[in-house]
Structure 1
Amino acid sequence: MVKLAQSLVIIVLAIAAPAVASDAAVRQLGVSGALFSLSASGPVPDTPNTSDAADAADTSVRSVTAQMRHAPRKLAQAGAPVHAHPVGPATPPLPHVSTGGTPVNVDGMAAAAGASGVSGAAGEQQYVQVVGAAMAVYGKHDGALQSGPVNLHALFSGAGADACTAPGGGAASVLYDQLEKRWLLSWLAGAPGRHVQCIAVSTSADAGGSYYRYAINMVGAGGAALQVDDARIALWPDAYYLTFSLFDNAQGGYRGPRVCGIDRAALLRGRDAALHCQDPGAAFGPAVAASLEGETAPPKGTPAPILSLDFTEDGTGARLLLWRFAFASASMGEPLAIAVAPFQSACADVGAAPCIGQPRPGLTQFAPGDRLMPRAVYRHDAGDLGRVGNVGDDAGRGALLLAHAVQQRDGGTGLRWYELRAPLRAVHVYQQGTHAPDAAHGAQGSIGIDRAGNIALGYGVAGPDTPPGVRYTGRQRSDPPGRMQSEEVVVNGSGVQLGAARQLAATGALTLDPADGCTFWYTQQYLPLTGHAAWRTRIASFKFRNCM
């Protein structure tokens, strides 16, 4: 491994190639002080802003549907769907989701103009929420604020990575590594034309403690600067995986997704870490890496699943794409095409057809229908999955959960979701469905699975008669395939977004509590007041009664 003299590692990739690997080393930039003993220079979001001033911290994602080069591609074919796709409500209707309400249901941080990334995760004792580039820690028992909010850039004070210390910054995400009981914070920083991915790994299970610091300079072939959006991070046993959407500049020039694996063991020990990246090219849409759920890992060396939607210029499609990224060999094979029920991506024509309604005087908003929502979740030990695939073949187990926003025939949007079985080997669609129970438009969704095999789906909702709020649904593993139960409300909105229509980020996070493997934690944004930047966030927990 070659250590770089610079504080940031430069990734040099030949973007024109269909998939080119990059081998590099990310240098550890020292250890921070305890997070909440640091000075939080710059403003921290704590109260909604209802003024008429436009919010400058717009971290919206850009649609890539019209920019993709839909050239012929070499794809392998997977098996056909196992179950038919339900196109309407369940008949007879399924009961309300069997969770008994939300024991914790509290307000989190403010969410700027509604485009700021909202993420969260539960640890052994704490719940961490990040909004934009700010972080706060809450108690799991009652949701009470324990520490913060604090700006994440304070972690990089004295590290020599100037972009990571600049106030503000792009959307952040938080991940709890349940295998090692560590926290991982990741956020985009930098001025236009120069994006840097900042990464901080906790030195203990305490989210308010110290962190190892790393930074990655996002560049293309020859060191040319790239614009990046929608950065996401996922856990796999051998590596943490980061996915991005790449652009030439702030005005456009889509270059395709980037997938990077960074040596997990090295990061956890605070050492320089190997980094391997692949750029599939502009013929593919935004990608997301599957994140391991639960404490049962797949066999050592199992490649990580990387997924994307496959669609045409008008946003229609009938396939998922799955790559397998082997970190040890820095290789990502050709994508596997998985046939699914046909779909129309939500808000496919971002320039002309916003599709998320609000009550008047709120304007219709856009939604990121060209990508899978956070998070894609893989579970190796959910319920009776041991009987899936070949008996005794550990690689034949597992469930992979995905969701994305789709356009409905009535003009509204809904959430398409999938459960893929045996995704590490002979992948097939076990079940799929579209959740659109009423005229309100659900678009910002996040899916998860508990240790009993129950599935939950949290989402933001809005419509012509529905101010932006937060809801969730789910299904017990014994429910009919492809069906979700009737939804429950986390919080109803009571205001609308004023001003020019904007693209809402692929935001929100549904994560599982590692302490019991049953409790889901969901965070999402909503509007309690009318204004240009009045968004607030909500944090709620719930669990299925049959998960003991």
Structure 2
Amino acid sequence: MMKKLLFLFTFSIVFHLTCFGQKQEKAGPVYIDSAKAVLSGSLSKSKLVPPSTEFKIYNPRNRGINQVVPGKGLPKTEDPALQNKMGEIKARTPIITFDAAISQSTPTDPTGVAGPDHYVNAWNSAFSIWDKSGNQVVPPASLASIGGEFEGEILGDPIVVYDEAANRYIISQFSDTPESFLIAVSQGPDPVNDGWYTYRFTTNAVLPDYPKMSVWGDGYYITTNKNSRTADESPVVYVVERDKMLQGETAQIVSFPLPGIETNGFYSPAGFQTIGPDLPPPGNSPIIFLQDDSWAGVNEDHLKIWLINVDWNNPGSSVISESQELSAADGVSPFIATFDGGSFSNLAQPFDAPDLDALQATMMYMTQYRRFAGYNSVVMNFVVDVDPTAAEHAGIRWYELRQQSDGGLWSVYQEGTYAPDKRDRFSGSIGIDARGNIGLAYTVLDDSPADPVAPSLRYTGRFVNDQLGLMTLEEQSIVEGESPDPNSRYGDYAHLSIDPSDGVTFWHNGEVFRGNQRVNKVGVFRIAADEPNDIGVTSLLTPQDATLTSSEVISVRIRNFGTNAQSDFEVSYSINGGPEVTETFEGSIAASSFAEFTFEQTADLSEIGEIYTITVSTNLENDSNPENDTIEEQVKNLPPRDVGVTSIDAPSTGQSLGGTEEVTVTLENFGGEPQQGFPVTYQIGNNAPVREVFNQSLPVGEEAVFTFNQTASLEPFGRYRITARTRLEDDFDPSNDSETKSVANLNCIPEGSDCSFGDGISYFELGDILNERIPCGDGYIDFIGESTDLDRSQGDFTLRVQSYFAEDDAEQFSMWIDLDDNGVFDDEERLITSEVINRKNTWLSFDFSLPADAPLGQHLLRIRAGDTRYDGDLNDPCSVMQYGTTHDYSVNVTDSTIDIEDFILNEAELAVVTVGSGQYRVIMETSFDEPLRITVHNVLGQKMLENQLFNEGEGYVYELDMSYAARGVYLVRVGTRKVGKVVRFIVK
């Protein structure tokens, strides 16, 4: 069976890695060959072969899934390099955008570069040429149109690079007749008229999948995804003889393994692509790849660098050597670079389209190298999951490495993970301009029903002098996609290049969609200053949200976006659109730098709770870009005293919880003054609250974790509702004081099932519960915080499920509801038994019913799915299945036919519990949630209290303070105005 074969295949990989795990430090070439040039003339119209317009899937995954070791790898929580807030500097709209290609090739694999006068782009499996104003010079044509060795060749995976030192374009693709690289080198800087030298370099009978080309001082370097299981001893990196190819002479090719590499399937290392007119000295050409510690054989996340030294006079003496491993001690923060166990359907699209490939385990194209006075820099990026504890969220991990001298060691100058909001960002391409500014372009995706984003292209960036590790530019759109990708296969790469004419203009080419058409969109943008006089405000430094006064200091950050130093210009601010306060900045700000400015005149922001709009602007004479002159920020005058609970962190649902479970909460100061010594409580169900005191100082806007000294008893199996709250005296906003969490003590939690092949429930919908893109995990996930009402009088209920796996009707699911609330899912509580999931990635609907006498109130629901051909019993709620998942939810059983008045009179129980010190708790346990009224009378019939009462989830609870009441007998009543329950209690 397929799964058994896959299991044996995975075992064989592990066995191979175990047997051959000893790393080599150096290796010689494993393949040497040469190729003659075949000349081809200019691109005349008569030579152009129309590109194919049919739908075609190119290179359907010559790449195995990257298998991970479940539970292995860091970080376990949020990415430590995460930038979760967008930059504050306004980015400029693109200079131009244009459609470079419209195709049904799946994927298109967009690539393109600017030269002195042209932009050459290519895709699967065609190309076109544009002038730099976005006018098409050569219409779309098959790559076969280049002629020479390209004649008749349309296999794909093209790459276009520009060798700035030689003023030449290079176009490559691969071939399988025989397995080869096809490389065309323009004979001059004009790709239309200068003609081409074409080469066919064979690759020793292995298809060179995912080839990526880079320019170094002694050759054109090509990295590939091939020989994954033996990449440490088989040809992976190829070098072709640049100097000979530029002359159209016979050129040699040398290939190397990557000694010491760990791979688990698809992988993509990268060479350093030289940007700028100055080539590095020959030799010591770096190859770099990420190594994720969630993979087998990798103990710590790191970047691994190899150096290649080619001797073209004696190729057999060439060598590749492991050079460096940059890890945590060197400034490489832990990262999770694997999605969905290594599979290729990862990121949810809107409009029910297939999940997209995140392009994991890939050093994204290009890895750009540039030489500066006193150091060399290289920038790179790859996709990461920014928080493994939540649903997968793609962000972009980027780096700038620096080298102080040629041939020296590389060090991490800065790193960051760009994920400024909840949207997915992936397929990045990064570059560094001649002034040291960094541009990063990428794809944005969001399946949120409220704000969906189909695959769209955007960019950000940073100036050379900005705070390290941050993309300081506000995200700017290149193009917003009109439609989702109809296929899970997204463009395998995007391509950002830098215009050699000025060294500062970025050209980015990526893939978006219009219906079923794949569109390669080019966006041209610039970060560097291009005008002499350009000043603007970028951020408000003070005040920030706090308890504000009538004399608040206004201070701002001002950036010089221009090329001239600036001084003696006006700066103004206004409050809520009122009169402007104008003062003069008397210092000097150098080009591409920033300064801080504080106004002498303060502002009256003293009204508690008021949100003030502060507008700040510069007024520079002859300013070339008024768009960045002004910012508008809102600042809130916070009440002095306002704290609350933001989360209950422990306990969590578990198996056989005990009588001494720690209770841990996160507190936050929402107010404008630090707070200390305030009460904090927790309560299990309707039991007496546990009251303790937070004695540390909690600063404004910060959080603190608080663990109660008194533990909680959760020993009996079942579901518990935990409420935690702060009780700060004179708290301004009680609505943020408390949080409630449901946990369960279960007799079994069947962890350990394998769902990496897609088994189990990936989508579950029942009433108000809608759980999409359910991650695999270790086979069990607690979702009991998600709940829906089930009206037992309605008859049948419909649920919808989806699985990523369906084969031979073996994928089945069952469901229980723990109606007796004992934490055990009994056979008689199984409401769905072995229903077949016969279609993968498809919503399937199923009906079930509740017993007519199902107990009202909250209950646990368990759903299990798996491949019934293997170990584990699907209908045993505690059995660990070999392949499958188990998930727990909550349901609230109601009955709309029951009259609330009858229920209150006949079934509900009302109790008054003494808490101590004149405090009482009035409790009426019921699943009804309509508002009721509570009244308290003394024996003389005088009404002491009347208030509204709400069901908090387990019943109606009212904290009754009788500490000021006289001793005696009192009556408490809970109900509607017509009927209710009454009990007597005594105040002593």
Same fold (TM over 0.5): yes
Contact 2:437 2:528 in 1 (8 A): no
2:48 is paired with a residue of what secondary structure? Answer: coil
> Mapping of 1:83-232 within 5 angstroms?
86-90=81-85, 94-98=87-91, 100-140=92-132, 142-157=133-148, 159=149, 164-190=150-176, 194-209=178-193, 210-219=195-204, 225-232=205-212
- Looking at structure 2, the residues matched to 456 and 170 of structure 1 have their Cα atoms a distance apart, in angstroms, of 28
Shift of 1:441: 1.3
- Looking at structure 2, the residues matched to 338 and 231 of structure 1 have their Cα atoms a distance apart, in angstroms, of 25
Specify the alignment match of 1:544 in structure 2.
Answer: 527
| Closer, same or farther: CA 314–360 of 1 in aligned 2, 3 Å | farther
Specify the alignment match of 1:445 in structure 2.
Answer: 428
Shift of 1:335: 4.0
- Looking at structure 2, the residues matched to 216 and 318 of structure 1 have their Cα atoms a distance apart, in angstroms, of 35
Contact 2:181 2:202 in 1 (8 A): yes
Specify the alignment match of 1:337 in structure 2.
Answer: 325
Specify the alignment match of 1:415 in structure 2.
Answer: 396
| Closer, same or farther: CA 61–488 of 1 in aligned 2, 3 Å | farther
Deviates more, 1:111-120 or 1:518-527: 111-120
- Looking at structure 2, the residues matched to 94 and 116 of structure 1 have their Cα atoms a distance apart, in angstroms, of 31
| Closer, same or farther: CA 354–319 of 1 in aligned 2, 3 Å | same
Specify the alignment match of 1:525 in structure 2.
Answer: 511
Specify the alignment match of 1:474 in structure 2.
Answer: 461
Query: Is the aligned partner of 1:354 residue 2:309?
Result: no
Select the residue among 10, 26, 33 that pairs with 2:41: 33
Contact 2:433 2:498 in 1 (8 A): yes
- Looking at structure 2, the residues matched to 489 and 227 of structure 1 have their Cα atoms a distance apart, in angstroms, of 37
Residue type of the partner of 1:156?
Answer: G
Contact 1:38 1:154 in 2 (8 A): no
Contact 1:22 1:277 in 2 (8 A): yes
Query: Is the aligned partner of 1:490 residue 2:478?
Result: yes
Contact 2:272 2:369 in 1 (8 A): yes
Contact 1:348 1:370 in 2 (8 A): no
Query: Is the aligned partner of 1:375 residue 2:366?
Result: yes
Query: Is the aligned partner of 1:516 residue 2:502?
Result: yes
2:279 is paired with a residue of what secondary structure? Answer: coil
Deviates more, 1:57-66 or 1:166-175: 57-66
| Closer, same or farther: CA 35–22 of 1 in aligned 2, 3 Å | farther
Shift of 1:60: 5.0
| Closer, same or farther: CA 280–348 of 1 in aligned 2, 3 Å | farther
Shift of 1:173: 0.6
Specify the alignment match of 2:247 in structure 1.
Answer: 269
Query: Is the aligned partner of 1:456 residue 2:439?
Result: yes
Contact 2:350 2:484 in 1 (8 A): yes
2:335 is paired with a residue of what secondary structure? Answer: strand
- Looking at structure 2, the residues matched to 302 and 508 of structure 1 have their Cα atoms a distance apart, in angstroms, of 28
1:228 is paired with a residue of what secondary structure? Answer: coil
Contact 2:57 2:107 in 1 (8 A): no
> Mapping of 1:234-313 within 5 angstroms?
234-247=214-227, 258-280=236-258, 283-284=262-263, 285-298=267-280, 300-313=281-294
2:37 is paired with a residue of what secondary structure? Answer: coil
Deviates more, 1:202-211 or 1:104-113: 104-113
Q: Deviations over 1:459-514 (max 9, x none)?
A: 12222121011111100112111001221110001111235x33x34311111000
Q: Deviations over 1:221-253 (max 9, x none)?
A: xxxx223311010011211111111148xxx98
| Closer, same or farther: CA 514–428 of 1 in aligned 2, 3 Å | same
Contact 1:235 1:290 in 2 (8 A): yes
Superposed CA RMSD: 2.7
Shift of 1:283: 3.0
- Looking at structure 1, the residues matched to 82 and 418 of structure 2 have their Cα atoms a distance apart, in angstroms, of 9
- Looking at structure 2, the residues matched to 44 and 34 of structure 1 have their Cα atoms a distance apart, in angstroms, of 22
Residue type of the partner of 1:35?
Answer: L
Q: Whose strand proportion is higher, 1 or 2?
A: 2
Contact 2:491 2:511 in 1 (8 A): no
- Looking at structure 2, the residues matched to 455 and 184 of structure 1 have their Cα atoms a distance apart, in angstroms, of 24
Residue type of the partner of 2:272?
Answer: A
- Looking at structure 2, the residues matched to 355 and 525 of structure 1 have their Cα atoms a distance apart, in angstroms, of 17
1:183 is paired with a residue of what secondary structure? Answer: strand
Contact 1:420 1:428 in 2 (8 A): yes
| Closer, same or farther: CA 22–254 of 1 in aligned 2, 3 Å | closer
Shift of 1:380: 0.6
- Looking at structure 1, the residues matched to 443 and 459 of structure 2 have their Cα atoms a distance apart, in angstroms, of 9
- Looking at structure 2, the residues matched to 492 and 535 of structure 1 have their Cα atoms a distance apart, in angstroms, of 13
Q: Deviations over 1:124-181 (max 9, x none)?
A: 00011111121111111x2111112121123234x5xxxx433521210101111111
| Closer, same or farther: CA 189–348 of 1 in aligned 2, 3 Å | farther
- Looking at structure 1, the residues matched to 519 and 248 of structure 2 have their Cα atoms a distance apart, in angstroms, of 35
Which structure: larger Rg?
A: 2
- Looking at structure 2, the residues matched to 137 and 34 of structure 1 have their Cα atoms a distance apart, in angstroms, of 13
- Looking at structure 1, the residues matched to 231 and 184 of structure 2 have their Cα atoms a distance apart, in angstroms, of 28
Contact 2:220 2:239 in 1 (8 A): yes
Specify the alignment match of 2:213 in structure 1.
Answer: 233
Number of residues of Structure 1 aligned to a counterpart in Structure 2:
472
Specify the alignment match of 2:67 in structure 1.
Answer: 66
Query: Is the aligned partner of 1:432 residue 2:411?
Result: no
Shift of 1:289: 0.5
Deviates more, 1:261-270 or 1:362-371: 362-371
- Looking at structure 2, the residues matched to 265 and 348 of structure 1 have their Cα atoms a distance apart, in angstroms, of 44
Shift of 1:342: 0.7
Shift of 1:520: 0.6
Shift of 1:31: 0.5
Specify the alignment match of 1:72 in structure 2.
Answer: none
Deviates more, 1:474-483 or 1:26-35: 26-35
Shift of 1:28: 2.0
TM-score (norm 2): 0.45
- Looking at structure 2, the residues matched to 105 and 60 of structure 1 have their Cα atoms a distance apart, in angstroms, of 31
Shift of 1:273: 1.1
RCO higher in structure (CA 8 A, sep ≥6): 1
- Looking at structure 2, the residues matched to 60 and 507 of structure 1 have their Cα atoms a distance apart, in angstroms, of 14
| Closer, same or farther: CA 232–273 of 1 in aligned 2, 3 Å | same
TM-score (norm 1): 0.80
Contact 1:421 1:429 in 2 (8 A): yes
Shift of 1:213: 1.0
Specify the alignment match of 2:662 in structure 1.
Answer: none
| Closer, same or farther: CA 114–56 of 1 in aligned 2, 3 Å | closer
Select the residue among 327, 334, 352 that pairs with 2:310: 327
Shift of 1:199: 0.5
Deviates more, 1:519-528 or 1:354-363: 354-363
Gaps of 5+ in 1: 1-15, 69-83, 220-224, 387-396
Residue type of the partner of 2:40?
Answer: S
- Looking at structure 2, the residues matched to 233 and 203 of structure 1 have their Cα atoms a distance apart, in angstroms, of 18
- Looking at structure 2, the residues matched to 257 and 463 of structure 1 have their Cα atoms a distance apart, in angstroms, of 39
1:462 is paired with a residue of what secondary structure? Answer: strand
- Looking at structure 2, the residues matched to 463 and 32 of structure 1 have their Cα atoms a distance apart, in angstroms, of 46
Deviates more, 1:422-431 or 1:485-494: 422-431
